[in-house]
Copies of this chain bind each other. A is one copy, B any other.
């Protein structure tokens, strides 16, 4: 019986690089954003709220990141029959708002990034651009 297993974790340098890359992409896009990065345990690793981003997106960006890290999938794809039930059963931590993208390395989910303040499509674009900039 194996008592331990080996896992890959993001470093805090990667977490800083992700919010840096997200902010740069959001600046180029002209839409200030809140950006949260969590690890595979859904614990906050890094965060940035850009000048002009929404205060109420501080929390929702974090929840998008948690949802992506927990499910291993980009947020926004749950069916309408499930999304509200899942949100309530997790005290709002699981959200189907677009803008959460899992961080997957060698097939393993090592965390998630969540972006909020723009449209859902803008939020997702920033999340994907940050991951691409750092891990490509």
Seen from chain A, the residues whose Cβ lies within 8 Å of a Cβ on chain B are 1-17, 19-20, 23, 32, 39-51, 54-60, 63-64, 66-67, 69-71, 80-97, 105, 110, 134-135
Contacts of A47 in B (CB 8 A): 44, 46-47
Closest to A33 in B: B12
Contacts of A91 in B (CB 8 A): 59, 92
Complex formed: what's the CA distance from A110 to B9 in Å?
13
A6-B7, A60-B89 given as contacts; is B23 within 8 A of A1 (CB)? no
Closest to A9 in B: B7
Complex formed: what's the CA distance from A59 to B44 in Å?
10
A12 touches B84 (CB 8 A): no
Contacts of A70 in B (CB 8 A): 54-57
Q: Residue A42 contacts which of B43, B46, B105 (CB distance < 8 angstroms)?
A: B43
B60 touches A44 (CB 8 A): no
Complex formed: what's the CA distance from A14 to B64 in Å?
25
CB distance from A107 to the nearest CB of B (A): 11
A3 touches B9 (CB 8 A): no
Contacts of A11 in B (CB 8 A): 1-5, 51
